[in-house]
Amino acid sequence: MDESSDAVENMPPRRSALYIALRTAAILLAFTLVFTALMASAYYLTAPRVAASAEAEKLRLLAVVLAPTFYDNDLLNDAITLPPTSALDTGENTRLYRARKNGQPVALVFEAIATDGYSGKIGLLLAVSSTGQLLALRVTQHKETPGLGDYIDPKKDRNKVRPWITQFSNIGFDSVPPEQWHVKKDGGHFDQMAGATISARAVTNASGRALAWVNKNHDKLFALPANSLYQE
């Protein structure tokens, strides 16, 4: 009995809840300030290098579909903004790059989306020449089943000599008419892997739609001033 009353007397005076709340919040705020400052300075120090890497990465990706020897203009700055376009299934603004050599239109590089993949959207990057040929096609992002449908990405394709996606290099409607621009399973021209048709069908059909759209609008796309917004 005595001991416990001693203990109560020796305890520091009880603070009000408000005092405790304010004091704790101040400590938490101090930590937040210090660590936010840490993140902000890391961001500040790395931002120029991150931007430079992102630019280099974009050029590297563009170079995969369009060799730098094809053009002599500043590709990244000779670009226009495309609003969401139903033929490309893009749900947001995308960039369309215009390659020229000696001032003459050479090719267009742009993005398209295949919405009917096996799981989620498949992002595509296409280069189409001014003669209407699909120069190259690459998958930029996808969530197709690993080991099954992911052969649409040449990095995952087990055929390293002639990956599936290279069927779409240097090919146009002059050699494969639009009604043939399907996978073989749908009576078309392009191969698919047995058991994983859905991913291939989605990429094939989306590339056909994108090629038709860009061929129809080619002159208009090249006529716009750089960095302007395209309107259909």
Q: In angstroms, what is the minimal distance from the CB of 76 to another protein?
A: 18
169-206 burial string, b = 16+ CB within 10 Å, else e? eebbbeebeeeebbbeeeebbbebbeebbbbbbbbbbb
Q: What share of the chain is helix, strand, coil (3-state, %, to 5)?
A: 45, 20, 35
Quick one: 49 or 104, whose CB is closer to another protein? 49
With CB under 8 A as the contact rule, the residue among 42, 67, 226, 229 that binds another protein is: 42
12 binds another protein (CB under 8 A): no
Q: Which of 6, 19, 45, 170 binds another protein (CB under 8 A)?
A: 45
Which of 14, 49, 161, 231 contacts another protein by CB under 8 A?
49
The span of 5-13, 89-97, 127-135, 144-152 binding another protein (CB under 8 A) equals 144-152
Query: Per-residue DSSP letters for 89-116?
Result: T--S-EEEEEEEETTEEEEEEEEEEE--
Number of Cβ within 10 Å of residue 224's Cβ equals 15
Binding flag, residue 57, another protein (CB under 8 A): yes
**Closest CB 146 distance from another protein, rounded Å:** 5
Whether 151 and 166 have beta carbons less than 8 Å apart is answered as: no
The binding site for another protein (CB under 8 A) comprises 24, 27-28, 31-32, 35-36, 38-39, 42-43, 45-46, 49-50, 53, 56-57, 145-148, 155, 158
